[in-house]
Chains A and B, each alone.
Chain A
Amino acid sequence: MKSITRQKPFNEIEQQLEDLDRIFIVGCGTCATMTRTGGREEVLEMKNRLQGLGKMVTGWIVIPTACDEMTEVAFRENNGAIQDANSILVMACALGVHRVSLYIGKPVIPALDTLFIGIEDSPGDFHEVCAQCGQCVLGETAGICPITACHKGLLNGPCGGTNNGKCEVDKEKDCAWTLIYQRLKEQGRLDLMRKYRPPKNFQVVPRPKVARIV
């Protein structure tokens, strides 16, 4: 599982930092390193670009896992450079941005956009596998998620847009329901395509989502 991120357009980062000239940069050693959006290399490149804009970079760090509680410890160790800064630029997913915001009273600016939770197919290629809908139907759909893999999130079979196994929105993308059909057929479980699935409960855990798992 990885949090898949993409760097924001540089002019958006620049805009967010408009009145902030002393910056501490935070990268992440887990997902953002694997997606090459917030690892050591990207952090150093960002440092150079910000310096090129005439900003002062008071320091930088790549936290092993920016979203966990060790972040607090890492911050204590870098207290001096953080004190010197008037803003923190976070090159981690939004979970990391949240974590950092918990400990610091200064503006925390995201440098990345968090796209989805996904897995890596081959180096650099990621795809979403689960939208955390709270009511998993994978057991009936041969392990292919109709919520995330079908563009429309359909529960009762393919739409009329399916085209030779591809999806109406993109000739490069597989139609999830054609895949589900093929796999169920292989498994001799096509009857599951005939099973009616009622409208989904979109409020399994209402927003803001919290859960206590005991």
Chain B
Amino acid sequence: MVPSFKEALNSGKFVVTSEIGPPKGTNIEKMCHHIDLLKDMVDGLNVTDHQSSVMRFPSIGGCLAIKEQGGEPILQMTCRDRNRLALQAELLLAHARGIRNVLCLTGDAILVGDHREAKGVFDLDSVQLVRTVRQLESGKDLGGNDLNGAVEFCAGAIVTPEARPIEPQLIKFENKVEAGAEFFQTQAIYDLDNFSKFMQYARQFPVKVLAGIVLLTSARMAKYMNENVPGIFVPQNLIDELTRAPKGEALNTGIEIAGRMIAVLQKDSVCDGVHIMAIGREEVVPDILAAAGL
């Protein structure tokens, strides 16, 4: 039997997670192929929840597929699309079907997605969602009513170590720890010095931190993220490295950069592991791991 994500987190090993993006539509062939490819290489596979507010096959559906294929799913749950009844109900479903890990997020705004006139729910926020998980574990729902069968989850949250200003973000991080988050997957990080400073701070808390590694596929993508994605800063030297790559080789350079960063994080024991996001290029995750020497 594969060890659970929680066991991996507590084993002291350098933990690796990656993520699966469900399809827009019912054709789950490619998703299942990615699951197959990655499930034995990582300690857990996140499934995104209508990432960027784009309507897709649901996170829970992807997690069930991972279970069926013998992997270890991490259910991403945002507060954007469901009120507190629906969120709790989904946690019950997840637990009953053997899903044991949940990542609690606020969720992107409706306005950045592909259904821009929809109602954003946000009945709960991410801190309240972590507490909701803990409440359901105590055998009671948010209304204080008894559950016939409680849940048990390894619950995590996210943090943006490059947010500016950083202090409100750190206070929120501590609020999530206080709420009962056991692990954190970070927003993409590229500046290892900055990240090491963040880790020195984060180490005082009893939580595991997995550094977010987003694969850079081109200099253009890096510049785009710098301009448009909050909390992501790709340093100029990495952009230059991607620019210098021969035609058609930028992706390989991106794989090299990701592998190199992971290797340093592991060698210097900067953090407890990494969360690799190869948005749309899941098939190269094994190459990233190889480049990292994992």
Contact = CB atoms under 8 A, between A and B. Distances in A.
Answer yes or no: are A and B bound together in one complex: yes
Interface of A: 151-165, 168-169, 177-178, 181, 185, 190, 193-194, 196, 198-200, 202
B106 A199 contact: no
Given A160-B230, A196-B131, 16 more contacts: A152-B107, A154-B125, A158-B172, A169-B111, A169-B112, A178-B168, A181-B165, A181-B168, A194-B174, A196-B175, A196-B178, A198-B131, A199-B123, A199-B128, A199-B142, A202-B123
B122 interface: yes
Interface of B: 80, 84, 105-109, 111-112, 120, 122-128, 131, 142, 158-160, 163-165, 167-169, 171-172, 174-175, 178-179, 187, 230-231
Nearest to A146: B125
A178 B165 contact: yes
B179 A152 contact: no
A196 to B, nearest CB: 7
A152 B164 contact: no
Nearest to A175: B168
Contacts of A185: 167
B168 A194 contact: no
B122 A152 contact: yes
Nearest to A166: B230
Nearest to B169: A158
A122 to B, nearest CB: 25
Nearest to B174: A194
B124 A168 contact: no
B163 A160 contact: yes
> Nearest 3 pairs between A and B by C-beta?
A163-B230, A157-B172, A156-B127
Contacts of A158: 163, 168-169, 172
A169 B107 CA distance: 12
B147 to A, nearest CB: 18
A8 B64 CA distance: 47
Given A168-B112, A199-B84, A202-B123, A156 B163 contact: no
10 contacts: A152-B80, A152-B120, A155-B125, A156-B126, A157-B127, A158-B168, A160-B231, A161-B230, A178-B165, A194-B171
B125 A193 contact: no
A161 B163 CA distance: 9
A196 B107 CA distance: 19
Contacts of B124: 199
Given A156-B125, A156-B127, A168 B171 contact: no
